[in-house]
Amino acid sequence: MSMIQRVKCFMRTKVRSLLRHGLSSALSLTSRTTSVTVLMYHEVLEDEQDVDAWTVVRASEFSKQMEYMKSHYDVISLDAACGVIRDGGHLNSKYAVVTFDDGYAGNHRVVLPVMVALDLPFTVFCATKPIEQREMYWWDKIICSAMACKRKLMLRDMLLGTYDFSTGVIGESRWNEMQRLLTDLKNVERERRNHIVRAIASQIYEAQQPCLLQPMTLDQVRELADTGLATIGAHSHTHDILTQLTPVEARQNILRSKEYLEAWTGRRIDYFSYPNGDYSPALMRAVERVGFQAAVSTDVRVWRRTDDIYAIPRIGIGRFDSMSIFKAKVSRKN
């Protein structure tokens, strides 16, 4: 073989090697994990607290769910998840984030010990007015009223319907009736809705034992923030549905929650959750302009790089999800 032939052979071998290396590198980059499963919870209470609401998960079920997540997923903070979506994660890793909406007291009393024991990070989105004023959310007054009610609730005089909370209507069936009433009330003008809620609550649950569904105290919010495992996020100030407010009202509601939480915790608040999951392009930009780095929605799918960082999808987990349903939800590919 002549010198020229040897050089050509060497160059062909070198080029093939470079192509293989480049292709391998490219495949390595493109195949890195770029999806995250984000779970959405609300409240978790002790098993003996009998609340037939999808939003309230039993403590024992929650513990099993988190043990499963620890065994099968790399549960990371929302901060870290943003990095995975931006830069890609390890090829063989399955990433998950655990979030809670509303800032309930059980997030501190029940959730925190479970997450500390398993060393799992989580995010709690807090609406600041209920925490500041120690007041229940209006829908929790309805839930507590529905739990105490032992009859059909006829609200036609309030231009609503009839809702069956008879003694035999229990579990998910009772929740379905609650959902009908809550959905109807969400479409009512705010002042009129507040009047209706007060009327229902004064007749039913306020004469019973105090409702178990309460927001955290300021001290509990601070303690969560100080754990190192919990990220505190904002959930607006009043928890009004932001798409029902004027742009100025919505911006003030968003900004106030950020300012309050930063003052309470001494930390920067980077993440926002839309109340009731309702958002619009204008609200997404408003959230960005007041200084949030990302926002979560209630769109149900896995979070991928193609999703807008101000509309991160989540998968809701509730009281009536069996373990098999839970596994199916978290393992979905889209």
Per-residue pLDDT, 155? 93
Per-residue pLDDT, 205? 65
In DSSP notation, 110-166 reads IIHHHHHHHT--EEEEE-HHHHHHT---HHHHHHHHHHH--SEEE-GGGT--EEE--
Cα dist. 15→11, 12, 29, 119 in Å?
6, 5, 21, 48
Per-residue pLDDT, 26? 39
Closest residue by Cα to residue 138 from 184, 95, 171, 90: 184
CA–CA separation, 244 and 315 (whole Å): 24
CA–CA separation, 301 and 312 (whole Å): 9
pLDDT mean for each 10 residues of the chain (334 residues): 42 42 40 84 96 96 99 97 91 91 98 98 98 95 92 91 94 96 93 93 70 94 97 98 96 98 98 98 98 98 96 98 98 84
CA–CA separation, 320 and 283 (whole Å): 32
Classify strands 294-296 and 271-273 as parallel, antiparallel or unpaired: parallel
Per-residue pLDDT, 1? 53
Domains parsed from the chain with CATH numbers? 35-135+216-330 (3.20.20.370), 138-207 (no CATH)
CA–CA separation, 141 and 211 (whole Å): 8
Per-residue pLDDT, 29? 41
CA–CA separation, 111 and 141 (whole Å): 22
